[in-house]
Structure formats: C-alpha cells, structure tokens
Amino acid sequence: MTADLHGQVGGNWGPARALLPPAAEPNPDAAPDPPGDQAWSPAPPALLYPNVVAWVHGWLIHIYRRPVGDGRNLAWCPQWWRHPEAVYRLTALWRGFEQRRLEPGDSVSAWIRDHLDHHMRVLTDPNGPLKGCSDQRGHNSAAALRSWITAEPPADLPTCL
C-alpha cells in the first residue's frame, strides 16, 4: 500500500520523500502467526480506501466542500500530490479516518473537529502549502513554496539541542 503511494506521488521530492511513510518490507525472519484460535489477535479490518489518493478522490473532495475560486481566500490544488506538506497532512488525515470510522460513539465527530478541520484550515490557507494554486488555474509551480534555508550548526553545539 505505502509502496503504491511512493509510486503515485512521483516528482522530484529530494529529501521531502522522507515525509511519506516508509514502504513496508516483508520480514523473512518473522515467525508465522499460529493457526486458528492460537492467533495473537484478529486480523485488522479492511481499509475502506486503499491509499491516500483513493481517499482524497473518493471521500474528501465529495464531503469537504468550500468555495475556492481564484485562490485568494482559500487555496486548493487539483495536483495536490505535487506538494509534500499536503501529501503528508492528507496521509495523516486518511490514516486517522480509517482508524476512527470503526470506533463507537463520537470518535468520528472528534476526528472531524480535532483533525480534519485543523488540517484543512492549514492546507487551504492562501499562504499555506498550496499557495498560488486554485481550482480555476490549477497547479502554480512558480508560486510553490520553497524549503526554508538552514545553516549547519557548529560542531561543538551541545547535543542536547
């Protein structure tokens, strides 16, 4: 599943590719699960959406609707996968959605309030990670935010920092 995400986002991500969850590798040394009643735990429930792309296109854009227009009040990029922070935040939302949708009580309501609303405010902020993009103009590479510049710290800097 995660390997599929790495293949779907494409692009020149450089070190930002580390924002994606690591691709799962099978562990050949792992002991097999005991058969039948001896299993340690039940199989996890099947995912409703197999990856973040399917979740954005199959759920998010149909449920979370706001007037984007020209991008001055809210930003959205039809090619959201070209923005590393957007992929990271949307992946976190998708994973939370998959977990919370099966929990009883007000879990989904809490997820909407604490996670969906928060991350979507950040994502769609005109100065946020999708800055310069709009549903009318599409992706705007010229306005894409660049990584911050940092300097290498001195070698004698205490390691507790």
Q: Give the whole-angstrom CA distance, residue 152 versus residue 12.
A: 23
C-alpha of 142 from chain center? 23
Q: What is the pTM of this model?
A: 0.69
DSSP assignments along 88-129, one per residue: HHHHHHHHHHHHHTTSSTTHHHHHIIIIIHHHHHHHHSTTST
Give dist(CA 134, CA 47) in Å, integer.
30
- Summarised one tens digit per residue, pLDDT across range 32-50 is 655 655 556 678 889 999 9
pLDDT (tens digit per residue) in 71-124: 789 999 999 999 999 999 999 999 999 999 999 899 999 999 999 999 999 999
Q: Count each helix (H run) and each strand (E run) in the chain, helices first.
A: 6, 0
Q: Which residues contact 56 (CB under 8 A, 6 or more apart)?
A: 80, 90, 94
Six-digit token pair at 130?
A: 């999708």
